[in-house]
Amino acid sequence: MTQSQAKGRSSGRSGGRAARTALRAAPLAENLRPVRAGMSGGFYKPLSENDIQRIHRAALQALSEIGLSGAPQSGIEVMTANGAELGSDGRLRFSETLVEDMLAKAARGITLYGRDSRNDLQLSGTRVHYGTAGAAVHVVDVDGRNYRESLLQDIHDAARIVETLDNIHFLQRPMVARDITDPLEMDLNTIYACCSGTKKHVGTSFTDVNSVPSAFEMLHMMAGGEDKWRERPFVSNSNCFVVPPMKFATEACQVMEMCIEGGMPVLLLSAGQAGATAPAPIAGAIVQAVAECLAGVVYVNSIKPGHPAIFGTWPFVSDLRTGAMSGGSGEQALLTAGCAQMHQFYGLPGGAAAGIADAKLPDMQAGWEQMCSNVMAGLSGLNMVYEAAGMHASLLGFCLESLILGDDLIGQAQRCVRGIEVSDETLALETMKSVCLGGPGHYLGSDQTLALMQTEYIYPVSADRSSPKEWEERGRPDLLAMTTSRKNKILSEPASARFDDLTDSEIRKKFPIHLS
């Protein structure tokens, strides 16, 4: 080889590397991204068709023979008017015919809107979306390796971070503002902190039924009028309408009724704990959650047929040695995947919990716990994967660094959801011939490799894939330290989701907003 040939070949390799680096750095069009919100899963099915039928029949039997107690008078009236029976023991019971009638009326293929239409979530079939949720009362301080009370500012910071993360598709309030003691002010400020931090869909709860009218008034202002709100409701109500086992939560049901009237989508959330407030067998925990959520379907569609509601079977797992919750367990992953199959059986948009870590810090334990259930939830085709990032200590602590790391983790989970495409092109026989028969003997510079490097493969933002030598040369960067730096950078920049000055001023005149 001549010197000039060697120089030319070397330049070609360098230029190729530079081109690939530039290609990776450039933002991809949405249709070219290797993963995106709403990809279809459904490949993993821990329940057989016979298992699903048996769970369904058991849930119907529980509704007809056991029923639920504790419904408010308004709920009793509307459900009995549609065929539920109120027993002398105060329990509402639901016949199979009633449940089937209400399932026929229930909304399917619903859309959860964002303030920006690019963030709209289409909930149908096995389309998968990942996001936050919870009511953590602590923030994980990575630097100090300790826990402190969560504040309103932490909720806003979480929302601002979610806005920048491609693989976190929605924000459900992940923490409680412990610095606000008045229930009305806490509910209003929670909505404001979330919606001023992200234009993605927001989920929230209400601690007091009296908060709901004021919340709608504020949401109408944010939307630019009640008509615009009703056209694109960008906040949903996470509603614990039942207190397992098999009891309606009276005040939460009253909140739900008001949210339905106000045009807000609802998450029908049943959160029993296996071995404590739900049966210990995994199948039994699913039966109870399905029965409770079917009662919710009857409730919602008795009030307003076809109102957007998410079938929120959220059974959790207990460590039966202690009774403590173990959200990071393999059993939790199985529960969630099984619930996803039941959502698909009914043809309803569904949500459940995954991604919870029992680990107290974002460490190796957190990694395996969060990845296991997130992957299984996605592969099972769960529409809404709640708690997917940031949650530690079995829902007691939320970590902003873990939220950022979760974006990479969920990106990998989504790549598993996407699966393997098999076609004449991806079988790559022509490329193999070109490379092996007189070609360079490798695929690094082939047209196919260059064409697919961004659309077939996903690259982590935070994770380190450098060699040990490169890692040494870069000063042995620490993953958590780099993530904290990234967090601080995000929070140092103006929030892109903040309201315009006039709208914000009007909201602050009307409501006691605590954020500066």
**Structure tokens of 511?**
């409501």
CB atoms within 10 A of CB 228: 12
- The string over 332-358, giving b where at least 16 C-beta atoms fall within 10 Å of a residue's C-beta and e elsewhere, is bbbbbbbbbbbbbbbebbbbbbbbbbb
The percent of the chain in helix, strand and coil, each rounded to the nearest 5, is 50, 15, 40
Residue 178 lies in a domain: yes
Domain CATH number, residue 343: 3.20.20.480
**Structure tokens of 31?**
């249709």
Query: Among 457, 458, 461, which Cα is nearest to 479's?
Result: 461
pLDDT in tens, the chain (516 residues): 444 444 444 444 445 555 555 555 556 677 778 888 998 999 999 999 999 999 999 999 999 999 999 999 999 999 999 999 999 999 999 999 999 999 999 999 999 999 999 999 999 999 999 999 999 999 999 999 999 999 999 999 999 999 999 999 999 999 999 999 999 999 999 999 999 999 999 999 999 999 999 999 999 999 999 999 999 999 999 999 999 999 999 999 999 999 999 999 999 999 999 999 999 999 999 999 999 999 999 999 999 999 999 999 999 998 888 888 899 999 999 999 999 999 999 999 999 999 999 999 999 999 999 999 999 999 999 999 999 999 999 999 999 999 999 999 999 999 999 999 999 999 999 999 999 998 999 999 888 988 888 889 999 999 999 999 999 999 999 999 999 999 999 999 999 999 999 999 999 999 999 998
- The answer to whether the beta carbons of residues 333 and 44 sit under 8 Å apart is no
The C-alpha atoms of residue 127 and residue 385 are separated, in whole angstroms, by: 11
What is the residue type of 473? E
How many structural domains comprise the chain? 1
The C-alpha atoms of residue 309 and residue 191 are separated, in whole angstroms, by: 20
Helix (H) or strand (E) holding 327: none
User: Could you give the 3-state DSSP secondary structure of residue 44?
Assistant: coil
**362 preceded by cis ω (within 30°)?**
no
Q: What is the dihedral of CA 169, 174, 180, 182, to 10 degrees?
A: 90
**Structure tokens of 98?**
């009633």
- The answer to whether the beta carbons of residues 105 and 305 sit under 8 Å apart is yes
The C-alpha atoms of residue 287 and residue 273 are separated, in whole angstroms, by: 13
Query: Among 473, 493, 486, 470, which Cα is nearest to 142's?
Result: 486
> What are the start-end ranges of the E strands in 150-187?
170-172
Q: What is residue 6's predicted lDDT score, i.e. its pLDDT?
A: 41
Query: Among 5, 108, 118, which Cα is nearest to 347's?
Result: 108
- Contacts of residue 91, defined as CB under 8 A and 6 or more positions apart, other chains included, come to 66, 67, 68, 69
Edge-to-edge strand list for the sheet holding 235-239: 170-172, 201-204, 235-239, 266-270, 309-313
The C-alpha atoms of residue 308 and residue 120 are separated, in whole angstroms, by: 14
Helix (H), strand (E), coil (C) string for 405-469: HHHHHHHHHHHHHHCCCCCHHHHCHHHHHHHHCCCCCCCCCCHHHHHHCCCCCCCCCCCCCCCHH
**Structure tokens of 155?**
């909720």
Residue 55 lies in a domain: no
For residue 286, give the DSSP letter: H
Residue 49 lies in a domain: no
Residues in the chain: 516
CB atoms within 10 A of CB 168: 27
Query: Which residues on neighbouring strands pair with residue 403, listed in sequence order?
Result: none
Q: What is residue 324's predicted lDDT score, i.e. its pLDDT?
A: 85
Q: β-pairing, 309-313 with 318-319?
A: unpaired
Residue 387 lies in a domain: yes
Residue 2 lies in a domain: no
- Contacts of residue 387, defined as CB under 8 A and 6 or more positions apart, other chains included, come to 132, 133, 134, 327, 353, 354, 355, 356, 395
- The answer to whether the beta carbons of residues 192 and 511 sit under 8 Å apart is yes
For residue 31, give the DSSP letter: G
Q: Which domain holds residue 375?
A: 103-418
Q: β-pairing, 201-204 with 170-172?
A: parallel
Q: What is residue 26's predicted lDDT score, i.e. its pLDDT?
A: 58
Residue 310 lies in a domain: yes
- The answer to whether the beta carbons of residues 133 and 336 sit under 8 Å apart is no
Helix 330-346 vs helix 49-65: crossing angle, to nearest 10:
80
